[in-house]
């Protein structure tokens, strides 16, 4: 029983991986005063942003986006870098 369950899980994971191949999210979003760490647009890619020297993010928790199966970058919020106070 456990072996059958293991094979079913492996099949599901393999199927999901196959379905996700070829999914692209379009160009990596660009934001003023910020640099993205990658140009990859493939499903599962996670892009991190760094504010240019002298700037910092308004929301420190919002510095990454991930290419999702929907073909969009999420979260959709804009990365905002403002001058340091």
Structural domains in the chain (count): 1
DSSP secondary structure letters along the chain: -HHHHHHHHHHHHHHHHHHHTT-B--SPP--TTEEES----BTT-EEEEEEPTTEEESSTT--EEEE-TTSSEES-SPP-EEE--
CATH classification of the domain holding 47 = 2.10.70.10
Q: Digits of tens for pLDDT over the chain (85 positions)? A: 456 655 566 555 554 554 556 788 999 999 999 999 999 898 889 999 999 999 998 777 668 999 998 999 999 888 899 987 5
Total-model pTM: 0.69
Q: Which residues contact 23 (CB under 8 A, 6 or more apart)?
A: 42, 43, 67, 69, 71
Within a domain: residue 4?
no
Residue 36 lies in a domain: yes
């Amino acid at each position: 029983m456990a072996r059958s369950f293991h094979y079913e899980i492996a099949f599901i994971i393999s199927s999901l991986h196959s379905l996700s191949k070829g999914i692209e999210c379009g160009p990596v979003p660009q934001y003023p005063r910020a640099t993205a760490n990658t140009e990859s647009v493939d499903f599962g890619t996670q892009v991190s942003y760094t504010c240019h020297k002298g700037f910092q993010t308004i929301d420190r928790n919002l510095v990454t986006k991930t290419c999702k199966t929907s073909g969009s970058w999420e979260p959709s919020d804009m990365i905002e870098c403002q001058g340091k106070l």
